[in-house]
Chains A and B, each alone.
Chain A
């Protein structure tokens, strides 16, 4: 039992890192633009399919393929922000953005279904099948590599946000959108870059997701609900919060599967949010939400 729980904790931490990668983009987009991007779930799936195409048709390793998929997803993000989000009127913007991004998600799901059918796919590589033997349990290499990738990319994201001019503009826009605009920050450009970066980071998460889970165009819905829970749990707009929240939520889920029963694991994942919000209505690391309107 003890080893099993230990393994569950390790699993939870490792997959938590990957979920943090997927959620980072979502929470960043929320922080800057105050919108919930429902399409984030299908971004993950889209990225997994891109890696899949590169692997099957061009025989490019998924990790190396990120050199292609991440810029590609950046472009997808920028195009969607420019084409749909920017055009929303200020009134009702946050509610309409949910519908717009949901419609975008439906369209992407339809395109993926058209090309790949609804059959389950999975990414294959030596590190998906082979496992590392430590402390009496087996750990697939992909979990370790995925976690390392998540740490590297999240660190890069922090460097980008805290050490570059564009990152500074983004943080300024998170703190005060109007103020940022007043001191000459081009909010439209910042929003486009944020959406692009959010999608690009998700590309990496999607690749690891595709290697650790089988996926089809329908997988986006389950993902987006989990990602939303994570970013609310961590406090909307906080990347560090998203990292800790995803690790906490996934460790609890994995440990529940061992000590109670696998069928209650997912329920616990969502129940964590309800319990935390009872005590802290703004999530673990959230700032006080602004007064409605």
Chain B
């Protein structure tokens, strides 16, 4: 797996000044494109897809921040999505708020709420590891979905909740939601990036590589796992709140959706598990494609078949995801070039990493 870790060895053929500057330029261009997108494509049908894509960028990055970095496959993140959505709906209903741009200020509150939900859920689920953890997150997810049906005083059950409708005209209606989603997506990416660059992120990677050894070396494994789980909940909850506000009505199967759990994982895998850009690229590919397929082949099973086959093909040929696979290919090519030119011999990766980092990562250089 190709990863840029903190204290990245200088010999990495992909970190030449030229490439680093190119990468920076591409990022800036992408950001400008993302900001200008509603002006370039003002068609509401397109901005709606773009908005959902950004929500998934946020949710998938958040998923990756926990599951990609620690190796714990959580398949219940819809818990936070739904919690954020219902918290937002309840807040607007109880405070009798009218739809306006100011309501977006409540979105972070919904995120904080979902972050707090993540604490007991994580405390429960993180007592187990590996497969048991996967299953218990699924089980807790279903408990939440059933609670959404049954706690009628909080959710109004299957009759659903209505949210305030903002008085914006149809042409620009999506733009507000698009902007909010973009902000949340950027927060998610920024969080994932800074976690990845920090010592905290290194501790998470150590947990992934060998949890017992990491604990032996003084990593407070439970504390770092739980903290990241809460961060994931915070971001996912904000996505859920925007989603609820956009839909205008909230029903248990849409707020707590099993497919959501797997979709965000698929996106991260497709792009590249454990890398910051992986889930972003995965979401940018999967969500528009999925929307297109359902639009093109409505009703029948054809869209499902194509979607499934596509994933089987991707997993078969790019098992490590797009970003790491391409990165590995590029590196190989650069190395070959370097070997031809009479430059000083490249430092071996293992030697460049400090002994402690090597120890923490189980002596495996990737």
Stretch from B9-17, B78-86, B125-133 contacting the other chain: B125-133
**Does A213 belong to the interface (CB within 8 Å)?**
no
CB neighbours (8 Å) of A87 from chain B are 316
A292 to B140, CA, bound (A): 23
Contact B139 A106 (CB under 8 A): no
Stretch from A45-53, A88-96, A204-212 contacting the other chain: A88-96
Contact B132 A266 (CB under 8 A): no
Please provide the chain B residues from 112 to 160 with a CB less than 8 Å away from any CB of chain A in the complex.
Answer: 124, 127-132, 134-136, 138-140, 142-143, 146-147, 149-150
Contact A30 B311 (CB under 8 A): no
A291 to B207, CA, bound (A): 12
Contact B132 A232 (CB under 8 A): yes
CB neighbours (8 Å) of B136 from chain A are 232, 273-274, 277
Which range contains the number of B residues in contact with the other chain?
Answer: 35 or more
CB neighbours (8 Å) of B75 from chain A are 98
**Does A100 belong to the interface (CB within 8 Å)?**
yes
CB neighbours (8 Å) of B300 from chain A are 113-114
Please provide the chain A residues from 244 to 293 with a CB less than 8 Å away from any CB of chain B in the complex.
Answer: 263-264, 266-267, 270-271, 273-274, 277-278, 281-283, 289, 291-293
CB neighbours (8 Å) of A271 from chain B are 143
The one of A88, A228, A270, A274 in contact with B319, judged by C-beta atoms closer than 8 angstroms, is A88
**Does A225 belong to the interface (CB within 8 Å)?**
yes
Stretch from B96-104, B181-189, B265-273 contacting the other chain: B265-273
Check A98/B129 contact, CB under 8 A, given A92-B273, A271-B143.
no
Question: Closest residue of chain B to A87, judged by CB?
Answer: B316
A273 to B302, CA, bound (A): 36
Contact A96 B269 (CB under 8 A): yes
Check A270/B139 contact, CB under 8 A, given A99-B265, A281-B127.
yes
Question: Closest residue of chain B to A109, judged by CB?
Answer: B304
Number of A interface residues in the complex (CB < 8 A): 52
**Does B262 belong to the interface (CB within 8 Å)?**
yes
Contact B303 A274 (CB under 8 A): no
Question: Closest residue of chain B to A263, judged by CB?
Answer: B150
Stretch from B208-216, B239-247, B332-340 contacting the other chain: B208-216
The one of B73, B132, B146, B319 in contact with A98, judged by C-beta atoms closer than 8 angstroms, is B73
The one of A107, A228, A266 in contact with B146, judged by C-beta atoms closer than 8 angstroms, is A266
Contact A292 B212 (CB under 8 A): yes
Check A232/B135 contact, CB under 8 A, given A96-B269, A289-B129, A292-B212.
yes
Contact A283 B273 (CB under 8 A): no
Per DSSP, chain B at the interface is: helix
**Does B308 belong to the interface (CB within 8 Å)?**
yes
Contact with A along B251-279 (1 / 0, CB 8 A): 00000001000100110010001000000
Contact with B along A218-230 (1 / 0, CB 8 A): 0001000100110
Contact A96 B315 (CB under 8 A): yes
**Does A190 belong to the interface (CB within 8 Å)?**
no
CB neighbours (8 Å) of A30 from chain B are 131
**Does A127 belong to the interface (CB within 8 Å)?**
no
Contact B269 A84 (CB under 8 A): no
**Does A179 belong to the interface (CB within 8 Å)?**
no
Please provide the chain A residues from 95 to 128 with a CB less than 8 Å away from any CB of chain B in the complex.
Answer: 95-96, 98-100, 102-107, 109-115
The one of A95, A107, A228, A229 in contact with B305, judged by C-beta atoms closer than 8 angstroms, is A107
**Does B347 belong to the interface (CB within 8 Å)?**
no
Check A110/B139 contact, CB under 8 A, given A96-B319, A103-B312.
no
**Does B301 belong to the interface (CB within 8 Å)?**
yes
CB neighbours (8 Å) of A236 from chain B are 131-132
A227 to B20, CA, bound (A): 49
Contact A225 B73 (CB under 8 A): no
**Does A21 belong to the interface (CB within 8 Å)?**
no
A291 to B312, CA, bound (A): 30
B residues contacting A by CB (< 8 A) are 71, 73, 75, 124, 127-132, 134-136, 138-140, 142-143, 146-147, 149-150, 209-212, 258, 262, 265-266, 269, 273, 300-309, 311-312, 315-316, 319-320, 362
- Rank and list the top 8 A-B pairs by shortest CB-CB distance, nearest first: A113-B301, A110-B304, A106-B308, A110-B305, A107-B308, A110-B301, A114-B301, A103-B311
14 residue pairs of the A-B complex, CB under 8 angstroms, read A87-B316, A89-B319, A96-B319, A98-B73, A104-B312, A106-B308, A110-B301, A110-B304, A113-B301, A217-B301, A225-B138, A225-B142, A229-B138, A283-B132
